[in-house]
Structure 1
Amino acid sequence: MHAAKAVRLRRSRSLAVSGLAVLLTAATALSSGAAGSGPSPGPTPSPSEAAPKPPPDQPPPLLTQADVDRAVARLDGVVQDMMKRTGVPGTAVGVVYKDRVVYLKGFGKRHVGEPAAVGPDTVFQLASLSKPVSSTVVAGAAGDDTGVWDEPVAAHLPGFALKDPWVSGHATVTDLMSHRSGLPDHAGDLLEDLGYDQAYILGHLRYEPLAPFRASYAYTNFGFTAGAEAVARTKGVSWQKLSEDTLFGPAGMNSTSTTFADYAKARNKAVGHVRNADGTWQAKFVRDADAQAPAGGVSSTASDMTRWLRLQLADGTLDGRRIVDAENLEHTHLPEIVSQPPASPAGRTGFYGLGWNVGYDDQGRLRLSHSGAFDLGANTNVTMLPGERLGIIVLTNGRPVGLADSVAEDFFDTAQYGKPTRDWLPLIAAVYAQEDRAAVSPTDYAEPPAVRKAARTDSAYTGTYDNAYYGRAVVTTDEDGLVLELGPAPKRYRLSHYDGDTFSFTTTGENAVGPTGVTFTFGEGKSADRLRVEYLDETGLGTFTRR
């Protein structure tokens, strides 16, 4: 979610797979009040007026070796302090400067309660940090042909279409990998949560409503995935094979993969953790992101990612070898769509490119960054100043609480200004927490109304209901009452009565939002004609009709 500190969070469920555009603009907005004051309740913070600036009589010079050394020297203490404050179990950090790995360390544990320590070669799930890795793959696969970005996706991806036939025929790899196709925010993510595979999801995006094509930005994992998969189809190989042959193999990224199976079988891997209500951390869930592999399914190590950083900062070369065409790699660093309009005439505009948040700092330097977040247990960050040939990678095995983004911000502050401009951790953590609150239904299903209408008999609700987008919903009964089944497997959800013909269940999965409502509607008969699932209805697709 950064360009110059532009953070794109939507609601808590989008944190999950998001490439949240690091919360930095919003975090700065939160910090604009009195020192020590916490964020006020309310909607998501608006972007900041501008990034933090040094005193006007002390503009930061171009970075020197001493500047970088100072920031590197501070890293051990910063990481350890932030891990202590948050409880995040494990972290790995790498820094590249002028084609050298100047810092590479692991901290903490791979799995809470077990002795194995995190090291530079521990495999982490990257979540949406996968996107800039994948755009590098496409740049490499294109060779010296920059036309690959302008290829219409539907021509190469069987079954893929969008709601508007004209847009469907003209949407290119660039449109989909820069989130400007018109698809709504995180389109398809809930299908993945219900258990649908990539083919089903890409084939059903045609039902989603569209915003203006190439004139609106909305972050979509499956739009990005469609663009990348179309490139793999033109080469006649799988996405994993294309990634191995184009980038991972030539760059010596031997522990990097786009498949969950490879991550799962790695002996030295960091397991995802979530934080319990009492503040402890637990390895509770497993996140399989194969359906959106190009957008969120990459796993890697800090060692491998520093090799990728070196390649990025050296225009596509590594150890004296050309891995990716320089012009095509540079193309991924260009702004393609406004992702964060300025909040005021003096504010800064954030852009999104091909897998990168693209921005420019107060000295006009290009700044590239991306975050990755799985609500089920991962948070990552990459931030680069290509003109300074400086970049940092931060990998963690805990759900997003601000650590990965804050370490990167502290590092670049220290390099540029001699010290951090603020304590980033509480600010960024507050934005994540505020997004969690914003995801909750406005209805408190735990507190039924004072005067509650009785439900009808169970048989009035049971039956099979169809939905062109979400597939089949089946309502059955068991000894404890009504059960809702959703998805191809299917997943079973216990329905609790709230009021009249409205029930609720607790959502699960990467995009869980807590309790959500299920409302049945009746016509002339004694059986419900339709049911609407609240959290599936954000774009108007959440109503199921009785078969």
Structure 2
Amino acid sequence: MRLDRNLCHWWIWHWWIWAFIAAMVLWPHAAPADTITPERITAALSKLEALAEAAVAGGAVPGLAIAVVHDDEVIFLRGFGHREAGKPEVVDADTVFQIASLSKPVSATVVAALVSDGIVSWDSKIADLDPAFRLADPYPASQLTVRDLFSHRSGLPGTAGDDLEDIGYDRAEILHRLRFVPPSSSFRAGYSYSNFGLTEGAVAAATPTGRPWEEVAEEKLYRPLGMASTSSRHSDFIKHANRAALHVKVDGAWAAKIERDPDAQAPAGGVSSTARDLSQWVLLILGDGVYAGKTLIAADALGQTHVPLIARGKNPVSGGASFYGLGWNVEFGRHGLSWGHAGAFSVGARSLVTIFPEDKLGIVIVTNAFPTGVPEGLSDSFADLVFDGTIGKDWVKAWDDTYAGLFGPAVAAAKATYAAPPSPARPAGPASAYAGRYANDFIGDAVVSKAGDDLVLRAGPAGARSYSLTHFDGDLFLTFPDAETPDRPSGVSFVVGPDGKASAVTIGFLDDNHLGTLQRVGD
């Protein structure tokens, strides 16, 4: 499972409304504004710079860039390390990074601009904007709004559509097939972080303009803020010579092994940008829609993105109460109210924004590696320095440990399940028992064929993705579908009938929402 499906977001505990009321009463208040002196800010920036340099020197990430905004001014802007491990090109404030799910609050700002202009409302119904879109149940589909999709309370499971993206389907086809995904909760009753749910909300909101989402984002946000290196198209990202590669750990060292084209979920995860450009966006957010003395977005339209709508649980490291607004995490932590969002591709990107609106302070950190807790660790350390004058703990280590605890056991469990076949293992049937075409409405077609002495599974549009199958036991085969975890197996199991032919196949890595079973068609 690709980790950016649900990433940057800790696992979900559902609270009811009393939890929000309690949090409002009990959350620790930020330090009084008069304690955040220019001297303390200067000292904090100096230590932040040293921490970032140490992170790169110690191999925590190959490269990163940071922007800090305070009181309508960019007060820190710098890159550290290298764009690609082992190569001399350095990261600077204008290096373009893929920011993954940090795209979500950026896209929420674009929609806020549409709301401000009267083109759409946060409560516009998707059925009116995009009549072809469906959910599995007719009532939620008829009532679903842009607000519901941007707050992840539509009932769509968190991974809905990510599996289709993995096997090569484009945005339009993925959004069409969401109608086959059963809900994970009642409508508006549960939080489930959904890349393609938010993508539908953004695309639908842009529909009245008659132009693609990517053009609307440019017109409403990127160009007005002078974000010349920012785009929602992967093709624009790869045109930049000054761009950061994605890195994963290979034998304990960072390596640029994999590219990630997130165009299918561009509003949710496809923005690429620089620390300099993102600092201008933070200025707009801290200015309540005012930028360079001009109102670009009405304060009410933008302010709605920061209203906590649904409980997410607690921050797994700080323990602060955490909620989701419209494309934003809203937290009540040790330094008071904050707005933020993280982003990650498990193939090698990490990003973070944290804003303390009451103190007009914001920080953006973009890195070119995964897994790493460096963005959260540096952001939390900086906040401690600003508000308390000292760092309370090793936040980078705390976040590294959290990510290791979140993702490590899942990989280990998959390896353990298939560590060794039973002894003795049951033999496989002949290749002809399994070969053939299988299909369901959600996955579409999958073809199993013989290739030499092996079986190969092809799935996606026109068999876009190919997976070798290795026999494990009886009618169960293994494949290794994830490029970022090449040693993590997934099962592919067949149901063979009395006629010696497989009547169905269940593809484990496409079965997150119990839609991975395909029936044989033909012959």
Q: Same fold (TM over 0.5)?
A: yes
2:200 pairs with 1:226: yes
Q: Counterpart in 2 of 1:81?
A: 54
What is the aligned counterpart of 1:119 among 92, 112, 117? 92
Q: Are 2:62 and 2:254, in contact at CA under 8 Å, matched by a contact in 1?
A: yes
Q: How does 1:428-507 map to 2 (within 5 A)?
A: 428-440=399-411, 441-442=413-414, 444-488=417-461, 489-507=463-481
Q: Are 2:12 and 2:313, in contact at CA under 8 Å, matched by a contact in 1?
A: no
2:32 pairs with 1:61: yes
| Distance in structure 2 (CA, Å) of the matches to 1:315 and 1:390 | 13
The one-letter amino acid paired with 1:269 is: R
| Distance in structure 2 (CA, Å) of the matches to 1:129 and 1:494 | 34
| Distance in structure 2 (CA, Å) of the matches to 1:188 and 1:513 | 24
Q: Counterpart in 2 of 1:404?
A: 375
Which one has the bigger helix percentage? Answer: 2
Q: Are 2:248 and 2:484, in contact at CA under 8 Å, matched by a contact in 1?
A: no
Q: Counterpart in 2 of 1:360?
A: 332
Q: Are 1:162 and 1:206, in contact at CA under 8 Å, matched by a contact in 2?
A: yes
Q: Counterpart in 1 of 2:398?
A: 427
| Distance in structure 2 (CA, Å) of the matches to 1:145 and 1:512 | 48
What is the aligned counterpart of 1:159 among 107, 114, 132? 132
| Distance in structure 2 (CA, Å) of the matches to 1:24 and 1:468 | 29
Q: Counterpart in 1 of 2:65?
A: 92
The one-letter amino acid paired with 1:209 is: P
| Distance in structure 2 (CA, Å) of the matches to 1:511 and 1:293 | 24
Q: Counterpart in 2 of 1:46?
A: none
The CA deviation at 1:18 is 4.1
Q: Are 1:16 and 1:510, in contact at CA under 8 Å, matched by a contact in 2?
A: no
| Distance in structure 2 (CA, Å) of the matches to 1:414 and 1:77 | 13
Q: Are 1:23 and 1:431, in contact at CA under 8 Å, matched by a contact in 2?
A: no
| Distance in structure 2 (CA, Å) of the matches to 1:23 and 1:70 | 35
Q: Counterpart in 2 of 1:538?
A: 512
Q: How does 1:289-368 map to 2 (within 5 A)?
A: 289-340=262-313, 348-362=320-334, 365-368=336-339
SS state of the match for residue 86, structure 2? coil
Q: Counterpart in 1 of 2:18?
A: none
The one-letter amino acid paired with 2:376 is: D
Q: Are 1:19 and 1:127, in contact at CA under 8 Å, matched by a contact in 2?
A: no
| Distance in structure 2 (CA, Å) of the matches to 1:269 and 1:323 | 29
Q: 1:308 to 1:180 in 2, by over 3 A?
A: same
Q: How does 1:190-339 map to 2 (within 5 A)?
A: 190-210=163-183, 211-277=185-251, 279-339=252-312
Q: Are 2:504 and 2:520, in contact at CA under 8 Å, matched by a contact in 1?
A: yes
Q: Are 1:374 and 1:510, in contact at CA under 8 Å, matched by a contact in 2?
A: no
Q: 1:513 to 1:246 in 2, by over 3 A?
A: farther
Aligned length: 504
The one-letter amino acid paired with 1:270 is: A
The one-letter amino acid paired with 2:333 is: D
Q: Are 2:308 and 2:324, in contact at CA under 8 Å, matched by a contact in 1?
A: yes
Unaligned runs of 5+ in 1: 1-12, 26-48
Q: Counterpart in 2 of 1:171?
A: 144
**CA deviation profile, 1:377-434 (whole Å, cap 9, x unmatched):** 1100000001100000000011231111111111111111111111012221122122
SS state of the match for residue 315, structure 1? coil
Q: Are 1:189 and 1:511, in contact at CA under 8 Å, matched by a contact in 2?
A: no
Q: 1:342 to 1:273 in 2, by over 3 A?
A: closer
What is the aligned counterpart of 2:354 among 369, 383, 387? 383
| Distance in structure 1 (CA, Å) of the matches to 2:119 and 2:362 | 25
The CA deviation at 1:72 is 0.9
The CA deviation at 1:535 is 2.4
Q: Percent identity?
A: 42
Q: Are 1:79 and 1:407, in contact at CA under 8 Å, matched by a contact in 2?
A: yes
**CA deviation profile, 1:213-258 (whole Å, cap 9, x unmatched):** 1010000000000000001112111111111111111111111100
Q: Counterpart in 2 of 1:138?
A: 111
SS state of the match for residue 127, structure 2? coil
| Distance in structure 1 (CA, Å) of the matches to 2:333 and 2:263 | 35
The CA deviation at 1:114 is 2.0
Q: Counterpart in 2 of 1:34?
A: none
Q: 1:82 to 1:104 in 2, by over 3 A?
A: same
Q: Counterpart in 2 of 1:187?
A: 160
| Distance in structure 2 (CA, Å) of the matches to 1:140 and 1:67 | 35
Q: TM-score, normalised by structure 2?
A: 0.91
SS state of the match for residue 132, structure 1? helix
Deviates more, 1:323-332 or 1:172-181: 323-332
Q: TM-score, normalised by structure 1?
A: 0.87
The CA deviation at 1:319 is 1.2
Q: Are 2:338 and 2:354, in contact at CA under 8 Å, matched by a contact in 1?
A: yes
Q: Are 2:12 and 2:191, in contact at CA under 8 Å, matched by a contact in 1?
A: no
Unaligned runs of 5+ in 2: 14-21
